[in-house]
Amino acid sequence: MATATTRLGAFLMVLYTCFADDINLIHKPDSAPVRLFTEEELKRYDGSEDGQPIYMAIKGVVFDVTKGKGFYGKGAAYNALVGRDSTRAVAKMSLDPADLTPDTEGLTADQLNSLEKVFEGTYKTKYPIAGYTAARILNPDGSPNKHFQPESQPQLRTKDEF
């Protein structure tokens, strides 16, 4: 006759064997974690290096615009927009160096409306999200922005990231 300790050990071994795969799955995320880009890090993805992805941020969302290399690559017409958050430039449809900033202060209602249309209708539908700028995820004091919500992209799911 087996002792209670032996029976308990055998029972736990059976449980472990039956549920081991399920237990391991809890620790395996099914998507890449949200990537946070500092301003300095984002500059590295400006299209100047062959083989390196090309990233552009709008409204703090970093898009991988590599497949649009003809527009955004080195020497291309819109290269000034990449490697940074170009929210103001997109809103104003401008390549003026003074507009290559995330600042939206002073934009007109028409410019803000244009920004939203281009953000939703072009970038979110055409380019995958590579991550977010620190300004999008963090408050000015460095604490997490509780109102941050990842964009609706299949590779970024809120339950996996937060």
Beta strand spans in 21-153 (E): 36-37, 55-58, 61-64, 129-133
Please state whether the predicted TM-score (pTM) of the whole model is above 0.75. Answer: no
- Determine how β-strand 129-133 pairs with β-strand 61-64: antiparallel
When pLDDT is cut at 50, 70 and 90, the band that residue 56 belongs to is very high
Using CA atoms, how far apart are residues 106 and 65, in angstroms rounded to an integer? Answer: 27
Question: Which two structure tokens, joined as six digits, stand for 136?
Answer: 């999008």
The CA angle 2-5-6, to the nearest 5 degrees, is 45
Q: pLDDT tens digit string along 77-125?
A: 999 999 999 999 999 999 999 999 999 999 999 999 999 999 999 999 9
CB 85 within 8 A of CB 38: no
Q: What pLDDT does residue 162 have?
A: 34
Mean pLDDT score across all residues of the chain: 80
Average pLDDT score over residue span 17-36: 54
* Residue 42 three-state SS: helix
When pLDDT is cut at 50, 70 and 90, the band that residue 8 belongs to is very low
Alpha helix ranges (H) inside 3-51? 4-26, 39-43
